[in-house]
A and B are shown apart, each in its own frame.
Chain A
């Protein structure tokens, strides 16, 4: 069975500082993708970043980077220079290439303090 674990229900970070949101996953498949989504208080789901299981370099998208450690089965999201607008729920998700089903973690609520 596939499983995504986010062990930090809530986190605080000071504005302009960097923050790491943890995500570990469990799968026996070799081919998969890892995604991070942001859910603001308004409720919509916003795609942030993608990492493929065969990608050798960590993915980056602007202030977002994904710290991918395949042997440890972790895919942590790093947000640099936090902004007040980063306050939201963040979800880690995994998709198995063979099945194209997406599995989500329980989320981390990030609060950016001014």
Chain B
């Protein structure tokens, strides 16, 4: 049981480049999330999805896009990377039940130079 898998684990981008962070889960969870964690800080919600075909903005969506074509996959797209997007990105999923905690991927460390 792999849980939540994110790729890549590390990436360095140049300003203005674009990339996609991949996230897949094998727990058949309807709810999926993307968070970013800046150094020494908590997690900020970028986007989330309550099911295939449904996405919504979180607290810090600017500069990002998402799609949810299947239950399993929830990729995060960075367009025109900026130094302010240097962060650790976490993908997570949950059952959506009241007591359902978040299951996290291992994180993706992105540096924009």
Contact B96–A101 (Cβ < 8 Å): no
Known: A43-B106, A44-B104. Is A105-B98 also a contact (CB below 8 A)?
A: no
Contact B31–A106 (Cβ < 8 Å): no
The docked-state distance in angstroms from the alpha carbon of A105 to that of B33 is: 17
Q: Is A45 an interface residue (CB 8 A)?
A: yes
Q: How many residues of A contact B (CB 8 A)?
A: 23
Smallest Cβ distance from A52 to chain B, in angstroms?
Answer: 6
Contact B98–A102 (Cβ < 8 Å): no
Find residues 75-114 in chain A having any chain B CB closer than 8 Å to their own CB.
91, 93, 97, 100-107
Contacts of B90 in A (CB 8 A): 45
Contacts of B92 in A (CB 8 A): 45, 102
Contact A44–B42 (Cβ < 8 Å): no
**Most chain A CB neighbours (cut-off 10 Å) among B42, B92, B94, B107:** B42
Q: Is B88 an interface residue (CB 8 A)?
A: yes
The docked-state distance in angstroms from the alpha carbon of A44 to that of B41 is: 14
Known: A35-B101, A100-B96. Is A107-B107 also a contact (CB below 8 A)?
A: no
> Given contacts A93-B102, A104-B42, could you give 8 more A-B pairs where the C-beta distance is less than 8 Å?
A33-B99, A50-B99, A50-B101, A52-B99, A102-B92, A104-B43, A104-B44, A107-B41
B residues touching A (Cβ–Cβ < 8 Å)?
31, 33, 35, 40-45, 48, 50, 58, 88, 90, 92, 94, 96, 98-99, 101-104, 106-107
A residues touching B (Cβ–Cβ < 8 Å)?
4, 6, 31, 33, 35, 37, 43-45, 47, 50, 52, 91, 93, 97, 100-107
